[in-house]
Amino acid sequence: MKVLIVEQEKIVAQSLSYFVGRGPFDVFLASSGQEALSLFKTSPCDIVLCSDRLPDGDGIEVLRQLLKENPRVHSILMTVRDDESLRKEAIEAGIRKYLVKPFDLKQLEEALLIGSFGNYIKHTSG
């Protein structure tokens, strides 16, 4: 299984990559939406873990575009905003999991494992 992590903060991206890479996943990193879209075209991923704020745009929009490329991709939005309107926008975009930073690594592990089994899960903040 391939996991794409889209995160502009280098230390956060490296930490997530280390944690996710310890599991049964091949990890790819992108620091911007454009980089994520380009990487996804050349190496499609099964799971995308994306920050809501990127240097070149909105994480929800990036996930929306990736879902157009592959509607079966398991999409996870990471955000510092525990905001009902953002959560609603994410659900309407087809995003399957909403993690509020800082989140417990157990929540991330659960989201990844559920994604790796292809189950559609109820949207929660964790």
Q: Which pLDDT does position 122 carry in this prediction?
A: 34
Position 125 in a domain: no
What CATH number is given to the structural domain containing 32?
3.40.50.2300
Domain total in the chain: 1
Position 123 in a domain: no
Q: Cα(110)–Cα(7) distance, rounded to whole angstroms? A: 19
* 18-25 mean pLDDT: 91
Position 121 in a domain: no
* Contact predicate 52/79, CB 8 Å: yes
List the domain range (segments joined by +) for residue 55.
Answer: 2-116
> Model confidence over 44-81: pLDDT tens digits?
999 999 999 999 999 999 999 999 999 999 999 999 99
| pTM of the predicted model over 0.75 | yes
Q: Which pLDDT does position 123 carry in this prediction?
A: 35
* Contact predicate 47/25, CB 8 Å: yes
